[in-house]
Structure 1
Amino acid sequence: MPTPPFSPAEARAARLRLGMTPGQVAAAMAQLGVDRPPEAVHAWEAGTVPPSEPELLALADALWCPVAVLMGVRPGTLREHRLARGFTAERLALRIGMDPYAYARAEAEHRWPGTDHHTVLLADALGLATEDLVELLDRDGELVGLLRQAVEGRWKTHVAQLAHLAQADERRVARALRALHREYTRFDERYMGHLVARNDDARLREIAADRAAWLRALPDRFRSLTGTGGPDTVAY
């Protein structure tokens, strides 16, 4: 799973506001069930290593700070809205009465299988108007579809539409799509190379699984390359 958005500067500022040392932050996180050394806190604040989801949630609790502030971006995806509210995927799924595995797949694949009842409960849990949530889910699905078309075909024809959808500069989108198209092409080259060499099916299945995982993470990779999401923070 890709690491969540994180602002090292906001994390350090939050710690200094409380007058805590990295060791004290690590100790507070350990009490929350996330045992990390003080060096990890140093690394997060230095920006050399980003925290994972559990680490981010525990860090926010330890610093008495909204998760949204530590993320340093305005939430733009279902996952980011969930994190901004301090939910794990499992806890949010249980709150809206949805199978946790189905919810996790919805986030990973950017496709919403929930019923209208699930959607209403999800909007309430995330503090969004139902129509805003539906728009978010629809936009996410459209983004995934366009990105798939771009990396699998002629990426240049999708630059303007993706730039408009993501509200990003066309030049940055073009650079991102060029890089993503190259990454995707390498999967095809690897697969065809092993196919021509008549390697065993296990190796082909491994490459196919790697490609599937890459495609699931495609929207997050695109947002990372284009810097979309914006620098604004949202207070909850």
Structure 2
Amino acid sequence: MSHPPFSPAQARAARLRIGLTPEQVVAAMAQLGVRRPAEAVTAWESGTAPPSETELFALADAVWCPVPTLMAVRPRSLREHRLARRFSAERLALRIGMAASAYLRAETDHHWSGTDVQTVLLADALDLEPDELLRVIGRAGALDGLLRQAVEGRWKQHTTALARLVDAPERSVAEALRTLHQEYARFGERYRGHLVARSDDARLKEIAGERAGWLHALPDRFLRLVGPHPGPPAA
């Protein structure tokens, strides 16, 4: 397995912030069951050798620093979210009732194949909001595509598929789609109205730009309309 994301600068800053020497850091790590020489801390901070996942977790405890700070990334992938929540792959797999080999395959292949229950447990363990869960397990594209088809055409025929994708009540999804379809239609009405009125190109481009921005934010708006905490998508 590859090494986790790691910032040598953040690690050094965290150690200096609480006034520890490398020797004191490894002593604290040893109390956590991870024994390394002081040279390992020096190597991590200089960027010549990154820590393993186990070393990262122990180092974070030793220097009193959140793991995401030492990673210096905003978690986006399934693995990064797991690391940010301080789970080993094996422990998270056990938590969600999945074989460790199947879970690791999901991380490396970037393809989630968990069951409905496993998906719910994953969202709970990693504290993922619905929109982030969709991105992490690779279904954000499916949501965006279905939503665009719904607002641009007959929204009712997409209700069931979208309700299953986000595991929300069909009634809530239908109400959200009706609202979004109406909002989208208004862009067309405004655009056609300005065409008839022979407005200048700048005004038409402004409406087109507003429509593009609305479409870009469509998944987030849909999830807010469906409810604050819709369930995760089905497998």
Q: Classify the TM-score, shorter chain.
A: 0.5 to 0.7
- Matched residue, 1:115: 115
- Matched residue, 1:2: 2
1:98 is the counterpart of 2:94: no
Identity of aligned residues (%): 69
Amino acid at match of 2:80: E
Amino acid at match of 2:17: R
- Where structure 1 has 5 or more consecutive residues not aligned to the other structure, the ranges are 143-236
Conserved? CA contact 1:110–1:140, under 8 Å: no
Map 1:138-153 → 2, pairs under 5 A: 138=138
CA distance change for structure 1 residues 141 and 8 in 2, over 3 Å: closer, same or farther? farther
Conserved? CA contact 2:68–2:84, under 8 Å: yes
Amino acid at match of 2:82: R
**Displacement of 1:17 after TM fit?**
1.4
Amino acid at match of 1:102: A
- Structure of greater relative contact order (alpha carbons < 8 Å, 6+ residues apart): 1
CA distance change for structure 1 residues 103 and 126 in 2, over 3 Å: closer, same or farther? same
1:100-133 superposed Cα distances (whole Å, 9 cap, x missing partner) = 2211121122211101111111111111113421
Conserved? CA contact 2:5–2:72, under 8 Å: yes
Conserved? CA contact 1:11–1:45, under 8 Å: yes
CA distance change for structure 1 residues 131 and 120 in 2, over 3 Å: closer, same or farther? farther
Amino acid at match of 1:134: L
Amino acid at match of 2:106: A
* TM-score for both structures, normalised by structure 2: 0.57
After the TM superposition, list the runs of 4 or more consecutive aligned residues in structure 1 that deviate by more than 4 angstroms: 139-142
Amino acid at match of 1:23: E
RMSD of aligned residue pairs (Cα, Å): 1.8
Amino acid at match of 2:2: P
1:12 is the counterpart of 2:3: no
- Matched residue, 1:169: none
- Where structure 2 has 5 or more consecutive residues not aligned to the other structure, the ranges are 143-235
Q: What is the alpha-carbon distance in structure 1 between the residues aligned to residue 54 and residue 141 of structure 2?
A: 26
